[in-house]
Each structure stands twice: as structure tokens, then as C-alpha cells.
Chain A
Amino acid sequence: MKKAVFAGFGGQGVLMMGYVFAVAAMRDGKEVTYLPAYGAEMRGGTANCTVVVSDEEIFSPVASSPDFAVIMNKPSLLKYEGVMREGGAILLNSNHVDRELTRDDLTAIRIPAVDIAKKLGSERVVNMIMLGAFVAHTKITSLDSIMNGLSEIVKGGKAGIMKLNRKGLDEGAEYILKGDSR
């Protein structure tokens, strides 16, 4: 069983990242739960969701000790670093989070997702770049499954946008595979 948290500011697409990942894992034949944080949320506030993927029945969907965290802003790092499972990995959007980790048992993976997105011509794919990196690092699902999940969710998505999303996913994954992130 693997638990992953996606966290950042509202508007950074963190809920979308988790949702796409959950659909992809479900179509891979896994058991999944997707739990968004809900509350008296406001624009500009923090948003997060927890996705659990397992070969067996999932009991608790709560994010007690996640294995992985995709962190898009500083407040989210402060919130989740302390609760990570021992030996877990944190993928950081390094353009927004410049802080060092305080725990030495965790792996920090830094992705300059905003820089990469600018090169691709749209900052709207920052979340897809992070998701691509997440998939390349965790190997819980594949980029193709993610792409299929995305098409399922945004039915009738414009071809240009879908192509851009795919580019984002590929660039994020490529960054991990080249080993630039450590």
C-alpha cells in the first residue's frame, strides 16, 4: 500500500494531480481512495489531497504517515514533513520552496517546475510536470495511464491542451530520469 499527499496553494492544481493519479491507478486495476481536504477553504489558501493505492482493500483513507508528498509551497512542507513515513520521499517544486528538509531520513527531490513550464510556454502545466516527476520517481503507475486518466476526466479536452499536458508529464519524468533533481 502506498499513500501520497499532494499539497500547495489553491489554484496550483494539486487536487487535479491527485485525482488524475487516482483514476490512472484505478484503471491499472488497483484499489484506490482519494480524499481531498475540505473545510472553510478560501481562495489563496492551502489545498491538499491524499491518494492511497493498494493491491488489497484500503481501510483508512487518512494521510497518517504518507510514503510520498508532492509539495508545491512552503506552508505545505511545514505541514507534512513531520508526518512523513520514515524513509519517505518529498518532491518539491523548488521554484516556490527553497527550504532545506529538517529530517535526514527523508529524500528531497527538487524540481524547478516553474522554470520547466516557462520553457514549454505555459505555467499552467506546472502540476503536470510535478506529476510526471512523481510517476517517474514512484513508478506506481505509468505516464500512459496518467494520460488516459486525464482524457477520461477532461472529456472533450482540446488537442492542443492535451498535447501540452503530455509534454509537461514527459518533461517532469525526464528531469527525474536524468538525475538532475538530487
Chain B
Amino acid sequence: MDKKLLMRGSQVIGEAAIRAGCRFYAGYHITPQNELPEFMSGAMANLKDGTFIQAESELAAINMVLGASMAGARAMTSSSSPGISLKQEGISFLAASELPAVIVNTMRGGPGLGNIAPSQGDYFQATRGGGHGDYRTIVLAPAYGQELADLTRKAFEYADRYRTPVMILADGMMGQMMEPVIFPDPVNLSELPSKLWILNGAKERPSRIIKSLILSPVAMEEHNWKLARKYEAISGEIACAETYMTEDARLVIVAYGTAARIAKGAIKRAREMGLKVGLLRPVTLWPFPGRAIREMSRLIKDFLVFEMNTGQMVEDVRLSLEGRSNTHFYGRPGGVVSTPDEIGRVISSLYYRRRLEED
């Protein structure tokens, strides 16, 4: 039998995390991602060095992750939209203390308690920090089962490399859907670069301090600039996007995650009708792949942003284009999942309204 497995998205993240060397998970249950903590409880129990904690609250869980990260573990927590809001204080503290951690947000309809259907309403929260203070969070947006596995591995790598929290931004559909996936081999924890900053007992070395309280404004400013330089480096190094049928396109759809898959289906139909339409799918939401969009604007004068919200990423597309091309928007908030037929109609109506069929 080949190595391909048919697995539910939430469990794919779990298995990929274990293989990436995650040895600490703390979480508090919320639909539609309960299969992830369920998976982690079993997987951690099967490891001799694994820890699973069903915490008493989201706040407790993120702070347990902070503690585990301080002690050197690859640590993860997960939740869905309202629960992620509760974790924001801890994420700010992780960023300030330069601690690696992976946070999974399986987005649901909101605001408030909302519903448990797939949505992309948390884009602003994820990419603009979410918590208080001048920091950024790396945000990865998988769209396929295989990518859930690949980006989970990357999330742990980025978190350690840059000593910063990394968020995996999925949605209810991705969490529940089963797709074939092939997992990478497990990392050998002893081969990972040693962390020379962790708090593991100062017996034969000077003591170390990890904190986010810096009372001197001058010292806090210096720390802010240090973080800013790091974020600038990250922006230059890991921004990533997938393109699909953009070579001869006159209209490019910008969409991520589940919305990008629906858009792909719509583009295939539009192509059958002779419309020259392509897709740009941001894989990293922060850093945003603005350069890829900017470069495209030399040839493409119309971009259609499709999101499962009322218009959030569209602001980043506009910022990237700086007025070079027209930005259009179509959104379905609240947990409604569009069909490719629906997006196909939006595409063709825009295409003819903009007279893109003319030479």
C-alpha cells in the first residue's frame, strides 16, 4: 500500500505537528476543530516525551504553550475564532518575548459566537497582530489537505527560526474535509539546532531572563526596533503565493484557502467559455505576497478579490497595487460557502463590464 492516507484536515495538522517535533499541546475545545485536540490527546499519550493538556480555558492554554516554549519544547495550541480572540494576550506576550509557538485557527462565522460554518472573518485579526502592541504574526493559509501537512511542518520551522509565534489560518471546511495526504518523515529532535536562550536550569552557566516587561521607554524602543528588523527580514524571506493560469490572463482572482479552491473551479469554467482568467493565491497572509501582485500589475489591469468575509484582504491587495490596477471585490461572510457556478457568474459579469474580451 502506498503512503497516501485519507485523513480529516484537523487530524492532518495534528499528525504533521507530531512529525514536526511538537511535544507539547494545550487547548480548550471548540467546534469545528475538536478533532485536533482529540487527535493530539492520543498521539501525545503514545510518545514517551509528549504532553497533552486539556486546559481550563483558552487563556490558560496559550500561556501553557508560552511556558513550554520557554523551556525549549516545540509547542502548539489550537482553537476557533472566538477562542482565538481569548488567546490574543498570550500571542502578544509570545511575540514580545521572542518565543516560538504554533497557533491553529480553524475559522468559523462571526463576529461574536457566530456559527460553526467556514468563514474567513479573522483575516484582520490574524495579520494585524490581534493582540496589543507593535508586533506581527506569521500567518500561513493552507488550501489543500497536503498543504495542511506541509505548512504545519513549515510553521514549526519558521517559529523556531525567527523565534516568533506562527498562526495556521484554516477554516471549518478544511478542518472537517478528508483528502489524501502523504506525510514527510518525522524530524529527529536531536538534530534540530540547539536553542541557546531557553530556561532549562542555570547550573553551569549564567542565568537567562525571558520577559516582556521593559519599563525604560528607551530600552523598549530598542526592543521594538529589534522586532521590526526581524519582521522586515521575514517579509523579504518567506512571502509566498501560488499562481494558476495567469500567463495570458486579463483578469486575476486573488483568494486564499477554501475561497481559492472555489475560485479555481470558477476559473476552470470561465476558461471553458473563453475568458482569460487566472488565480493568485497567497499562501502566506503575513508577510503578504505584495510583490507578486505588484509585478503582475504590469500586464493585468483588473484584480478581483474573493473572500469569505465583507472585505479584508482586499485592503492588502490595494496597498500592494498602489493604484496601478483596478481592484474589485466579491465577498460572502457569515459562513456561507459559494459554489464555483456563483463565482463564475461574478467573473463573467465583471469581465464583460470591463470589456476585457476586446483586444
Contacts and interface: CB of A to CB of B under 8 A. Distances in A.
Given A33-B177, A34-B177, A38-B172, A61 B6 contact: no
Interface string B167-179: 0000011001111
A60 B339 contact: yes
Contacts of B341: 64-65
Interface string A140-166: 000000000000100000000000000
Contacts of A40: 116
Give the interface SS of chain B, mostly helix, strand, loop or mixed: mixed
A61 B4 contact: no
Interface stretch (B20-28, B64-72, B218-226, B258-266): B258-266
Most buried by A among B6, B180, B264: B6
A25 to B, nearest CB: 9
Nearest to A153: B6
Contacts of B245: none
Interface in A1-45: 19, 22-23, 26-27, 31-36, 38-40
A31 to B, nearest CB: 7
Contacts of B268: 59
A32 B6 contact: yes
B83 interface: no
Interface in B159-211: 172-173, 176-180
Given A38-B172, A60-B261, A33 B116 contact: no
A40 B265 CA distance: 29
Contacts, number: 58
A116 interface: no
Contacts of B264: 59-60
Give the interface SS of chain A, mostly helix, strand, loop or mixed: mixed
B339 A23 contact: no
A62 interface: yes
B337 interface: yes
A164 to B, nearest CB: 24
Contacts of B176: 35-36, 38
A145 to B, nearest CB: 13
Nearest to B31: A38
Most buried by B among A32, A39, A61: A61
B32 interface: yes
B262 A59 contact: yes
Contacts of B179: 32-34
Contacts of A32: 6, 179-180
Given A36-B178, A38-B116, A39-B117, 8 more contacts: A32-B6, A33-B178, A34-B6, A59-B261, A60-B264, A62-B339, A64-B340, A64-B341
Interface of A: 19, 22-23, 26-27, 31-36, 38-40, 59-62, 64-65, 152
